[in-house]
Amino acid sequence: MRRGDIVEAVHRVHAVAVQDGAVVAEAGDSGLVAFMRSSSKPLQAIPLARARDDLDERDLAIASASHLADEAQLAAVRALLAKAPAQESELECGPVGNPPSPLKHNCSGKHAGMLALCRAKGWRSEGYRLEGHRVQREMLAVHAEAAEVPEDELRTGIDGCGILTFALPLERMAHAFSRLSQLAGGESVATAMRAHPELIRGPLAADTRLMKALPGWIGKGGAEGLLCAAGNGIGVALKAEDGNGRGLGPAAAVFFGQLELDLGDLAVATLENSRGEPVGDIRANA
């Protein structure tokens, strides 16, 4: 990150691309273990896609999203809750915003999807976020299936919204994303994300911008500087070592260049002051 001509900060990003089970490009440590955080959401939407045939693309997209609570995104969450059916009060992600509401939480689409999964399966919904609930056992199973690792080797933690999050080496994350469309229900999730990239995050986010730059690809960011993507049978995972995700777009642009793919204006992130004046930028050094 440069302010004027002075390097003010450096963020080290590790990256790996996997195709047909083999690493085809890497930078840094492809064995780095991290929690998938919100990059898991497309995987977490797969059991929902398998369980219900009444969902449209918008439903599956918002279930895969880390939204910004804009009107279109909130409307999509409400629609999924109505279809579940479930009430806003049943969301266990915790309230945010002013006035506080669980609907405004960036993970409310995922939580609405888990409630819809409970209704489809006839499971009790209370405590769906907790380890040991059938919903979370389904999430563990789909991560193991996608990454092709034994379930008992998956390490878990608690995500910011109270749900389990799963830890994997970056190479296994990329492998899981490369296989997502091959899994039962996975292509429905991928199709929904490609159709509604603006629901997944927002116009300035690396994942939304990646999907717009590369038609046919999906992308999903996660907390602590994680970005996963997939397209053309390739899965990609990038992780900022210091957990700061502001350099992921430029890093992805350079790394995708190794795959002969152009991410366009993600290559440079312009820094502006409070007056809207450019004062520096973020660029990747390969």
> In this predicted model, what pLDDT tens digit does every residue of 185-228 receive, in sequence order?
999 999 999 999 999 999 999 999 999 999 999 999 999 999 99
Residue 285's pLDDT band (cuts 50, 70, 90): confident
Residue 43: alpha-carbon gap to chain centroid:
9
Count other Cβ atoms within 10 Å, centred on residue 10: 9
Nearest to 107 by CA among 80, 126, 137: 80
Average pLDDT, the chain: 97
Share of the chain above pLDDT 90, in %: 99
Domain 2-283 coded CATH 1.20.120 = no
pLDDT score of 183: 98
If 0-12 CB within 10 Å is exposed, 13-18 middle and 19+ buried, where does residue 148 land?
A: exposed
Pairing of the two strands 226-231 and 33-35: unpaired
Share of the chain above pLDDT 70, in %: 100
Residue 11's pLDDT band (cuts 50, 70, 90): very high
Using alpha carbons only, give the angle 171, 64, 173 rounded to the nearest 5 degrees.
5
